[in-house]
Amino acid sequence: MVKAVKGTFIECDPAAREVLLRLNSEEKFIIEDLDRTHLFINSTHFERIQRVLDELMDANTYKANVVS
């Protein structure tokens, strides 16, 4: 029997790749680490890691208090 897993090909910058590698150490989703800017991961975790990355980017962004 063939067992198939759905995979997603990710292209990102080295910094984001580091973040993903770190997340991987907690819960494995990387199938193959291709090179400095490409990864191949398990699709089921795709939503989750996208959210994590968004939160990280948000934390580093300054939101000015707009006076109405």
Which H helix or E strand runs over 63? none
Question: Contacting another protein (CB under 8 A), which of 5, 15, 66, 67?
Answer: 15
Amino acid at 7: G
The yes or no reply on residue 55 touching another protein (CB under 8 A) is: no
CB of 29 to another protein, least distance (A): 17
Residue number with CB closer to another protein (37 or 43): 37
DSSP for 34-48 reads EETTEEEEEGGGHHH
Report the alpha-carbon angle 16-5-19, nearest 5.
Answer: 10
Residues that bind another protein (CB under 8 A): 13-19, 21-22, 36, 56-57, 59-62, 64
